[in-house]
Structure 1
Amino acid sequence: MRLTVARIGRAHGLKGEVSVELRTDIPDDRLVPGEVFETEPASAGPLTVARVRVQAGRWYVQFAEIGDRDAAEAARGVELTLDGAESDEDDAWYVHQLVGLAAVRPDGAPVGEVVDLLSMPAQDVLVVKEPNGHRAMIPFVEEFVPEVDLDGGRVVLTPPYGLLAGEEPESTGETAG
């Protein structure tokens, strides 16, 4: 099984440096000079990390195979992958494991379906598509996502009032104030 470590974002500068959207909790261990990644699509790689830097919480990578801005723009959206057997992250879930899971309240009431996992500076965010089409962004922290049940095909959500469309304060145990 292939796991995504990062997705290549925008070109940065003229020499082929790119921003990356992290999909790992241990980027310092993964994104190191000399590391070679397979890619999705496979035709875009393999890619070898030449240089890495972090600026204002954003990760930038220079790959040996990407030498100019045009090549960097062409690589946008390419995923950097590794073999799942090489993963050593504890209690980690990957986008492909979460997408499609049913999102439910602790009492089993349906909330919607997980459609994405976004890596944000403070924490990851689950994107849940509600039945009305609204996409709710739920911080992926234990307080709001106390249970991930891959075998049962669901995640349990306890988000605060206001994150889900059309809910009343009483349904979350809160009062309007």
Structure 2
Amino acid sequence: MQLVVARIGRAHGIKGDVTVEVRTDEPELRLGPGAVLLTDPASAGPLTIESGKVHSGRLLLRFEGVRDRNAAEALRNTLLIAEIDPEELPEEEDEYYDHQLVDLDVVLADGTLVGAITEISHLPSQDLFIVERPDGTELMIPFVEQIVTEIDLENQRAVIDPPPGLIDDRAEIASARDAEEDDQV
């Protein structure tokens, strides 16, 4: 199985270093020296990490064979992809890899289907489930324990307890508003 672990940013300095946007919870495991990564576009790689360091809060990597700023800049926006064993699990009990969560059904505690997770968006403040609803619309659900109460990999579902307004359909809201207006007449 393949997992996107980073995106190469701009060149840093003149010796071939690049900044990277990390897209994995385990950069020390996936982006360490000696790691061989596939790329998208495939023509840029595979790339082997020679060294890495944190500079001003950003991860800098140097790849074998990339020795100057021009070669580093040519890699800009390339996705770095790690080959992982699909059976591999994170070290912590309540942690999950994105590939474990994508395609899970999202349900309410009573079993009502909300939709299916199509993507995990990693934001600085929190992660979001991008959920496709049965009608084709998308919904964003914060991946926080107050809302996502259970991840059940065996039954392929994520149970949520959303606050009011998080998953309400516009049609349901309009219908409720119309009913209120009818009561007032």
TM-score normalised by structure 1 residue count: 0.72
Report if aligned partners of 2:7, 2:22 keep a CA contact under 8 Å in 1: yes
- For 1:6-25, what aligned pairs fall within 5 Å after superposition? 6-13=5-12, 15-24=16-25
User: Structure 1 residues 159, 38: closer, same or farther in 2, change over 3 A?
Assistant: same
Contact 1:18 1:72 in 2 (8 A): no
Q: What's the CA shift for 1:53?
A: 1.7
| Shift, 1:79, TM fit | 1.5
Unpaired stretches in structure 1, ≥5 consecutive residues: 170-177
Q: Secondary structure at the match of 1:127?
A: strand
Q: Distance in 2 between matches of 1:110 and 1:86?
A: 28
* Cα RMSD (Å): 3.1
Kindly indicate whether the alpha-carbon contact (under 8 Å) linking 1:3 and 1:94 is maintained by their aligned counterparts in 2. no
Q: Which letter maps to 2:53?
A: V
Name the CA distance, whole Å, in 2 between partners of 1:4 and 1:80: 5
1:130 maps to: 133
**What is the aligned partner in structure 2 of residue 61 from structure 1?**
61
CA shift in 2, pair 1:143/1:132, >3 Å: same
Residue 181 (structure 2) aligns with: none
- Percent of aligned positions that are identical: 28
Q: SS at the partner of 2:82?
A: strand
State how far apart, in whole Å, the 2-side matches of 1:162 and 1:12 are: 44
Q: Which has the larger radius of gyration?
A: 2
Corresponding residue for 1:45?
46
Shift of 1:100: 1.1
**SS state of the match for residue 140, structure 2?**
strand
Provide the residue aligned with 2:92 in structure 1: 90
In structure 2, the partner of 1:4 is 3
Equivalences for residues 27-176 of structure 1 within 5 A: 27-28=27-28, 30-32=30-32, 34-39=33-38, 44-53=45-54, 55=56, 59-67=59-67, 68-73=71-76, 76-83=78-85, 89-91=91-93, 92-166=95-169
Instruction: List structure 1 runs of 4+ shifted beyond 6 angstroms.
Output: none
Change (3 A) 1:137 1:90: same
In structure 2, stretches of 5+ residues that fail to align are: 174-185
Q: Alpha-carbon deviation of 1:46? A: 4.2
